[in-house]
Amino acid sequence: MLAEIISILSMIVTAIIPIVGTVIAGLVLYAKQDYDRTQNMRRAFLAELTAVDLPIPVDVGDREIPLPYTSWMIPTAVYDNYIDNIGRLTSEEVEALVRFYSIAQEMDHLRAVMHGFQEPPGEEFKHLEKRKEVVVTELEQNLQTRFWGFLWNRTIGTRIS
């Protein structure tokens, strides 16, 4: 009787182990793909942000040299492309990105309004540069996260906090 129970349990365990292993492997593979997509999104944002050199008016004696109209433009292609997936990033990254790009969109609106004027908004660019530095720091910091740390934060880490 005991031998039959042990035999049945060993068959059940033998059948369940591959199924459990397959499920775990599938979950890890899915998490790795999610990690790769998230890291690629961070790299894309970094590439767009580091390619932007925000213009700051140059003081020459008692006047500022106006910037050309085209230098006021701030690209938002990556932001526009990834806005639906931005929730994959940390809350700090999302907050920093949204603040930066919100200001950038305000600047684009201001640029459109000021098209006929020669003086660009210098102080706003200085504030935007500070916001850009915050975003770049957050993204670079989270790009250092390894897969297992990412997996921990996505599963167990979010439940602890």
Q: Is residue 85 part of a domain?
A: yes
Domain range for 152: 34-160
**Amino acid at residue number 126:** K
Residue 72: how many CB atoms within 10 A of its CB?
20
| Tally of structural domains, the chain | 1
Integer distance in angstroms from the first to the last C-alpha of the chain? 50
Q: Is residue 122 part of a domain?
A: yes
Give tens-digit pLDDT for 6-38.
888 888 888 899 999 999 999 889 989 999 999
Q: Is residue 7 part of a domain?
A: no
Q: Is residue 123 part of a domain?
A: yes
Give tens-digit pLDDT for 48-73.
888 876 655 555 666 655 555 444 56
In the block, residue with structure tokens 């390894």: 146
Q: Is residue 118 part of a domain?
A: yes
Distance CA 115, CA 136 (A): 29
Distance CA 28, CA 151 (A): 8
Q: Is residue 17 part of a domain?
A: no
User: Rounded to two decimals, what is the model's pTM?
Assistant: 0.67
Q: Is residue 67 part of a domain?
A: yes
Per-residue tokens: 90? 């940390």
Per-residue tokens: 56? 């700051």
- Residue 95 and residue 87 in contact, taking contact as beta carbons nearer than 8 Å: no
Predicted pLDDT of residue 62: 63
Q: How confident is the model at residue 84 (pLDDT cuts 50, 70, 90)?
A: very high
Q: Is residue 112 part of a domain?
A: yes
